[in-house]
Amino acid sequence: METVAPSQQREAAPSTDHDSKTADDTWWRSGVIYQIYPRSFADGNGDGTGDLAGIRARLPYLKELGIDAIWYTPWYVSPLADGGYDVADYRAIDPAFGTLAEAEVLITEALELGIRTIIDIVPNHVSAQHTWFQQALNAAPGSPERARFWFHKGLGPNGDEMPTHWPNNFGGEVWSRTTNPDGTPGEWYLHLFDSQQPDLNWSNPEIIDEHEQILKFWFDRGVAGIRIDSAALLVKDPALPEIPENPGPGEHPNTDRDELHEIYRGWRAVADSYPGSRALIGEIWLPDTERFAAYLRPDELHTAFNFDFMTRAWGATNLRESIDMMLAAHEPVAAPATWVLSNHDVTRAVTRYGRSDSSFDFLKKRRGVPSDLELGTRRARAAALLTAALPGSLYIYQGDELGLPEVEDLPLDQMHDPMFFRSNGTDPGRDGCRVPLPWRGDDPPFGFSLTDDHAPAWLTPPREWARYTAARQDIDPDSMLTLYRRMLAIRRDEGSLGDGPMRWIDSERDVLAFRRGESFVNVSNLSEHPVTLPAGCVPLLSSMPLVEKPDGMTLPTDSTVWLRLTDARQHLTGEPRTA
Ligand code: NOJ
């Protein structure tokens, strides 16, 4: 029996080939977006830090992988107190990465290969080195320079108590105290993240105007999309109250405040004033799916990262619940869902899925938790196919296509992340998912530098990564890289994948089976035993080898297969049966 998920009874998206997809204004509804952490992707000049020259040289690799767009984590001038999310100048490229002229060339060269560019805008805060903050520090309390931020007198008779006790996203406090020119303690300033990332005051119209100008600056240079950092945090309650015990909708003093929507309507108007679709993509961590989807109304953001799926533990019931919940949440606003298995803030999928508790919590990352990497890799392969078959757009974090695990034993002198230091090392931080990619060769840093094989990389990849190099995987038909290439090639040619409807197929317990269009079927077996595949289907791609049994082909545990129904009129009457 076939069931139709009620939330998914939309018309199928028209089938398109790759070239028409790049010319297509709705590219963001189905696009495959590859996330580059520039510092760790490829080093073009031999200084051990990834850069734009390295990325330009590797564009053919990305073309072959089969992506539609690249999202760059911040590439601007930055003291790197938070890996670039502390921006000192939003209109200039950090000299360690290259120049603005080179970024313009990169945007053009990528587009010639059919790859769009998405940049990262960080509107909640700036670097403490940003001119505005330096001016504010040198200005008097109450000045227009300080009004761009949240400067505040301290509480208590001497002003030495901080204005609120809100928790910091990186651990520690959200207020730091300034020093007056005469050496006496001065006002406090707010920072929801590191003290080197002062929060901007979005109640000030100057901040709104400046960001609209920054968007235009980059849209004028051919950028096709903006990933909006910490998109739900910008607006604060100017009264600075403490956080209520159970804040109702819109009642939290620093998260998901109603005024944000007007700001994003302004951004959308800027985006819509350009030809083609300039997509706005929100980094929005909100458990309330209705509040989450409100950002995706037609005159606000285009899409937002779906973190719910990524944080869920491996398990069919759990994952199906997340899929249904997120698709249903997007339905009323007619926005496509996104599928994300990891990013530069998250423990690598291969490591997560190999742990006995494979759920993920950004604020409770764990150190020293054992992981069965063989199991994790198997599940990550299954998850890649599963998510690539679901309706919406797809994000791939650099190195996931190589199946890289988290590096959990970086020495102290290689740790950079403020999450590690601000938590006194109780949080492992995010350096372990930001280790430079292994490209070729047998020894670290595996050809990270294009000009000098021996140039040490800014973080040293482990010796075991010899088995993960792109060069080795390129010629291995069973590698993760080969799986990703095949997967994206099929997705590109298959009109029913990406945005559009899906229909669940009733199936054995712990099996996630669904149809896209008339003839495409995804079966993910998360049960503990092999399942027999329905007759009349031809396998297109499977994450593990299928096993021939007397009553048909079987799909092993923790794997996904993509199938083609051979006769488009054929209906799946039977369920995938257990072996
Ligand atoms: C979210 C980014 O993804 C993360 O890397 C960063 O540390 C915080 N926002 C603060 O900008």
Q: Span 46-58, mean pLDDT?
A: 98
Q: Span 291-306, mean pLDDT?
A: 98
Q: Work out which ligand 1 atom sits closest to the CA atom of 82.
A: 7
Percent of the chain topping pLDDT 70: 94
Q: Which residue's CA is minimally distant from atom 6 of ligand 1? A: 85
Q: Is the CB of 427 under 6 A from ligand 1?
A: no
Report how far ligand 1's centroid is from the alpha carbon of 358 (Å): 22
Report how far ligand 1's centroid is from the alpha carbon of 252 (Å): 20
Q: Is the CB of 382 under 6 A from ligand 1?
A: no
- As to burial, measured by CB atoms within 10 angstroms (0-12 exposed, 13-18 middle, 19+ buried), residue 38 is buried
> What phi, psi does 324 have (nearest 5°)?
-65, -45
Return d(Cα 73, Cα 85) in angstroms, integer. Answer: 8
114: left (phi over 0), alpha (psi -120 to 50) or beta: left
Q: Is the CB of 256 under 6 A from ligand 1?
A: no
pLDDT at 576: 44
Q: Is the CB of 170 under 6 A from ligand 1?
A: no
pLDDT at 534: 86
420 token code pair: 């590690």
Q: pTM here?
A: 0.94
Asked if pLDDT for residue 414 goes beyond 70, the answer is yes
As annotated, the residues of the chain forming the CATH 3.20.20.80 domain(s) are 6-123+205-235+271-487
User: 230-254 pLDDT, tens per residue?
Assistant: 999 999 999 999 999 999 999 999 9
pLDDT at 18: 41
Q: Map residue 34 onto helix, strand or coil.
A: strand
DSSP-derived secondary structure letter, 458: S
Pick the closest to residue 71 from 344, 300, 275, 260 (CA basis): 344
Pick the closest to residue 123 from 233, 269, 36, 217 (CA basis): 233
Asked if pLDDT for residue 579 goes beyond 60, the answer is no
Q: Which residue's CA is minimally distant from atom 4 of ligand 1? A: 345
What 3 state SS string does 465-521 have?
HHHHCHHHHHCCCCCHHHHHHHHHHHHHHCCCCCCCCCEEECCCCCEEEEEECCCEE
6 Cβ contact list (under 8 Å, min separation 6): none
Asked if pLDDT for residue 449 goes beyond 70, the answer is yes
Pick the closest to residue 59 from 118, 121, 120, 116 (CA basis): 116
Q: Which of 193, 347, 360, 395 to mutate to test the pocket of ligand 1 (most atoms within 8 A of CB)?
A: 193
**477 CA to centre of own chain:** 27
Q: Map residue 116 onto helix, strand or coil.
A: strand
Q: Span 86-106, mean pLDDT?
A: 98
> What phi, psi does 504 have (nearest 5°)?
-65, 145
CATH for the stretch 6-123+205-235+271-487: 3.20.20.80
User: 148-172 pLDDT, tens per residue?
Assistant: 999 999 999 999 999 999 999 999 9
DSSP-derived secondary structure letter, 449: B
Q: Is the CB of 401 under 6 A from ligand 1?
A: no
Q: What share of the chain is helix, strand, coil (3-state, %, to 5)?
A: 30, 15, 55
Q: Is the CB of 94 under 6 A from ligand 1?
A: no
Mean predicted lDDT score pLDDT of the chain: 93
pLDDT at 566: 86
Return d(Cα 439, Cα 468) in angstroms, integer. Answer: 8
Asked if pLDDT for residue 190 goes beyond 80, the answer is yes
Q: Work out which ligand 1 atom sits closest to the CA atom of 343.
A: 3
CB atoms within 10 A of CB 495: 17
Say if residues 329 and 366 touch (Cβ distance below 8 Å): no
Report how far ligand 1's centroid is from the alpha carbon of 443 (Å): 31
Return d(Cα 409, Cα 403) in angstroms, integer. Answer: 18
Report how far ligand 1's centroid is from the alpha carbon of 174 (Å): 15
Q: Which of 40, 230, 233 to mutate to test the pocket of ligand 1 (most atoms within 8 A of CB)?
A: 230
Which strand (E) or helix (H) includes residue 307? helix 307-311
Q: Is the CB of 228 under 6 A from ligand 1?
A: no
Could you tell me how many residues make up the chain?
Answer: 579
Question: Is the backbone peptide bond immediately before 445 cis, with ω within 30 degrees of 0?
Answer: yes
User: 122-141 pLDDT, tens per residue?
Assistant: 999 999 999 999 999 999 99
User: 192-201 pLDDT, tens per residue?
Assistant: 999 999 999 9
Say if residues 517 and 14 touch (Cβ distance below 8 Å): no
421 token code pair: 């230091």
Say if residues 86 and 78 touch (Cβ distance below 8 Å): yes
Return d(Cα 327, Cα 100) in angstroms, integer. Answer: 39
Q: Which residue's CA is minimally distant from atom 10 of ligand 1? A: 85
As annotated, the residues of the chain forming the CATH 2.60.40.1180 domain(s) are 502-577
502-577 homologous superfamily: Golgi alpha-mannosidase II (2.60.40.1180)
CB atoms within 10 A of CB 143: 13
Report how far ligand 1's centroid is from the alpha carbon of 344 (Å): 9
User: 366-385 pLDDT, tens per residue?
Assistant: 878 999 999 999 999 999 99
Return d(Cα 486, Cα 354) in angstroms, integer. Answer: 24
Q: Is the CB of 194 under 6 A from ligand 1?
A: no
Which strand (E) or helix (H) includes residue 280? strand 279-282
Report how far ligand 1's centroid is from the alpha carbon of 274 (Å): 28
Strands 303-304 and 338-340 come out as: unpaired
Q: How confident is the model at residue 296 (pLDDT cuts 50, 70, 90)?
A: very high
Q: Work out which ligand 1 atom sits closest to the CA atom of 86.
A: 11
Q: Work out which ligand 1 atom sits closest to the CA atom of 418.
A: 7
Pick the closest to residue 365 from 306, 432, 416, 429 (CA basis): 429
Say if residues 126 and 214 touch (Cβ distance below 8 Å): no
Report how far ligand 1's centroid is from the alpha carbon of 307 (Å): 14
Q: Work out which ligand 1 atom sits closest to the CA atom of 419.
A: 7
Q: How confident is the model at residue 6 (pLDDT cuts 50, 70, 90)?
A: very low
Lowest mean pLDDT, pick from 7-11, 71-75, 544-548, 569-573: 7-11
